[in-house]
């Protein structure tokens, strides 16, 4: 191997390892996430809308940590009397359990002691990347039922900016309530990498929404 090529590979290796070190072992991702979090304080509203994130296709349909953090926030809001109704949003189907994300969300909240009469499930269409179609489906399905200007929409902190702007584009101005911001204090490099993936994916989604004139 020529000396110039060897030097290039060494320099490239050092650069790549430095980038991974910064991502995995520094608070860079935490600071990148701050502009994305525009969560607001809750207030009395007509309805609480909880957006699903992901789930595992296990026998029970185990919801992932972000979905559970959102559910916990939604349950806290309901218990505190902020709204009398909850819409669980998640149309992807879990084939082993035969249920959708939205149905599994409802199941868990019922275990928390929330009465079934409080729930509505929006799972008419599968979730797509960045779930724009799902947001529009909520507005269409419950038009005239709820005033979404007086709704509390629960999602992860790093998703609040995009979701807010997507609703605002439709001249709808709900209150975005962020779930527990647990990811900014990762307990090891692996969780820090997952957080970086989530934050970088969100910046890509914002750019896509902007190009598609959705925000």
The sign of the CA dihedral 123, 59, 180, 212 is negative
- Report, as an integer, the average pLDDT of 114-120: 92
**Domains, the chain:** 43-182 (3.40.50.620)
**Range scoring the smallest mean pLDDT among 84-88, 101-105, 156-160:** 101-105
Report whether pLDDT(136) > 60: yes
Quick one: pLDDT band at residue 138, thresholds 50, 70, 90?
confident
Q: What is the pTM of this model?
A: 0.85
> Between 129 and 8, where is the model more confident?
8
Report whether pLDDT(13) > 70: yes
Whole-number pLDDT of residue 64? 81
Whole-number pLDDT of residue 133? 83
Report whether pLDDT(129) > 70: no
Kindly report, residue by residue over 40-75, the tens digit of the pLDDT: 999 999 999 999 887 776 667 778 888 889 999 999
> Between 54 and 147, where is the model more confident?
147
The full 3-state SS of 79-144, as one line of letters, equals: HCCCCCCEEEECCCEECCCCEEHHHHHHHHHHHCCCCHHHEEEECCCCCCHHHHHHHHHHHHHCEC
Give Cβ neighbours of residue 161 (< 8 Å, ≥ 6 apart). 35, 36, 37, 38, 206
Report whether pLDDT(213) > 70: yes
Q: Residue 150 carries which DSSP code?
A: G
The full 3-state SS of 166-211, as one line of letters, equals: HHHHCCCCCEEEECCCHHHCCCCHHHHHHHHHHHHHHHHHHHHHHH
């Amino acid at each position: 191997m020529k000396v110039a090529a060897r030097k290039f590979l060494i320099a490239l290796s050092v650069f790549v390892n430095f980038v991974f070190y910064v991502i995995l072992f520094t608070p860079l991702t935490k600071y990148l996430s701050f502009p994305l979090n525009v969560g607001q304080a809750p207030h009395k509203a007509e309805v609480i809308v909880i957006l699903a994130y992901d789930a595992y296709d296990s026998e029970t349909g185990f919801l992932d940590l972000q979905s559970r953090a959102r559910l916990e926030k939604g349950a806290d809001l309901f218990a505190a009397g902020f709204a009398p109704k909850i819409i669980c949003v998640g149309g992807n189907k879990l084939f082993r359990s035969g249920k959708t994300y939205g149905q599994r969300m409802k199941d868990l909240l019922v275990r928390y002691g929330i009465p079934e009469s409080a729930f509505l499930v929006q799972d008419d269409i599968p979730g797509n990347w960045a779930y724009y179609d799902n947001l529009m489906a909520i507005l269409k399905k419950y038009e005239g039922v709820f005033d979404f200007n007086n709704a509390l929409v629960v999602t992860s902190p790093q998703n609040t900016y995009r979701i807010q702007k997507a609703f605002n584009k439709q001249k709808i101005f709900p209150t975005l309530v962020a779930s527990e911001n647990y990811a900014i204090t990762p307990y090891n490099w692996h969780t820090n990498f997952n957080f970086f993936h989530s934050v970088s994916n969100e910046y890509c989604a914002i750019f896509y929404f902007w190009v598609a004139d959705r925000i």
